[in-house]
């Protein structure tokens, strides 16, 4: 009788190029960057801060690497290469950086546990990267044994033309649909209860409870909305239409609401060129043409966030 071989765990570390690395790429050397900054106190202080954050990130990556048991497999990927990296179902993912980096990687995963590590504690919100580098050894061991405490964070999904076009995307925070420029986006909006309205606006946002701590919250506060936004694990979405313009051919009454599980927010494109993207990643946008339909729902996929 042959017994299937069990693979040793693989830990994939996700990070992004630091500000210092980007500056060196643009200026040639760090010394050249300092020379160009001259002796202006503000510029020198800014470079010193950049250098400190770089050192903290490098130290965090070294600490995470040292926490991976010797017999385990390893992988590493930068943010700009995520779309070319193949995650395995059994991977344990360690994200070293700010909250936004967890959102960037979430859409490439399907249930793999994610440990968010903040290399500069206190410099960001720490909603998704809530762990210190020194916590990694304990958390990796718990995740490998299936004993890590985790949240299943809801994601948002957009499907173009009912999936027949093969176009669609998933995001952790929010999805934006609108014009790629400052022009108005024209479309017909259909709510889960069947109400419809033709609109001309600055675009539509639909997001999760995780996104309710960012862009969605900003819009809600600006308009003093009384809408109760979902929590991070709630199977519902909040949505807002930005700056809807009332006119003889467009309305401005259906501008916010909730989409529950198994419900759908439908947008029929009435502009020649709109775009759809998630979590602020405009480079990964989908171009939409007149007559295409976008359906926005809570995704079946969730982010498994180790807490």
The domain that contains 124 carries what CATH number? Answer: 3.40.50
Domain carrying residue 190: 154-300
Asked if residues 10 and 91 have their Cβ atoms less than 8 Å apart, the reply is: yes
pLDDT recorded at residue 6 = 61
- Positions in the chain short of pLDDT 70: 1-6, 37-39
Q: How far apart are CA 154 and CA 232, in angstroms?
A: 6
Look at residue 278 and give its three-state secondary structure.
strand
pLDDT recorded at residue 4 = 43
Q: Which of 56, 57, 78, 74 is closest to 65 using CA atoms? A: 74
Q: How far apart are CA 40 and CA 81, in angstroms?
A: 36
For residues 207 and 113, membership in a common domain is answered with no
pLDDT recorded at residue 5 = 45
Q: 161 φ, ψ to 5°?
A: 55, 40
Per the domain annotation, does 225 fall within a domain? Answer: yes
Q: Is the pTM of this model over 0.85?
A: yes
Per the domain annotation, does 129 fall within a domain? Answer: yes
Span 172-202, pLDDT tens digits: 999 999 999 889 999 999 999 999 999 999 9
Per the domain annotation, does 273 fall within a domain? Answer: yes
Per the domain annotation, does 306 fall within a domain? Answer: no
pLDDT recorded at residue 218 = 93
The domain that contains 281 carries what CATH number? Answer: 2.60.200.30
pLDDT recorded at residue 1 = 39
């Amino acid at each position: 009788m042959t017994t299937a071989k069990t693979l040793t765990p693989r830990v994939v570390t996700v990070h992004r190029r630091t500000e210092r690395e980007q500056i060196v790429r643009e200026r040639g050397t760090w010394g050249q960057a300092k020379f160009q900054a001259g002796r202006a106190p503000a510029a020198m202080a800014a470079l010193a801060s950049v250098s400190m954050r770089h050192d903290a990130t490098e130290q965090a990556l070294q600490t995470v690497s040292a926490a991976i048991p010797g017999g385990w497999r390893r992988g590493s990927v930068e943010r700009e290469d995520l779309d070319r990296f193949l995650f395995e179902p059994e991977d344990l993912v360690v994200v070293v950086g700010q909250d936004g980096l967890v959102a960037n990687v979430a859409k490439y995963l399907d249930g793999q546990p994610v440990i968010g590590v903040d290399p500069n504690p206190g410099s960001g919100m720490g909603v998704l990267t809530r762990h210190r580098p020194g916590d990694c050894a304990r958390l990796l061991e718990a995740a490998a044994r299936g004993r890590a405490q985790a949240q299943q964070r809801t994601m948002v999904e957009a499907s173009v033309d009912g999936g027949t076009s093969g176009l669609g995307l998933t995001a952790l925070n929010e999805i934006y649909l609108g014009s790629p420029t400052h022009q108005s986006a024209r479309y017909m909006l259909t709510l889960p209860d069947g109400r419809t309205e033709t609109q001309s606006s600055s675009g539509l946002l639909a997001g999760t409870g995780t996104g309710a701590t960012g862009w969605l919250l900003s819009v809600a506060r600006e308009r003093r909305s009384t809408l109760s936004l979902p929590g991070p694990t709630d199977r519902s979405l909040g949505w807002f239409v930005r700056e809807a313009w009332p006119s003889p051919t467009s309305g401005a009454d259906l501008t916010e609401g909730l989409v529950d599980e198994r419900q759908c927010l439908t947008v029929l494109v009435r502009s020649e060129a709109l775009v759809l993207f998630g979590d602020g990643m405009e480079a990964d946008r989908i171009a939409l043409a007149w007559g295409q339909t976008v359906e926005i729902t809570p995704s079946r996929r969730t982010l498994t966030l180790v807490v």
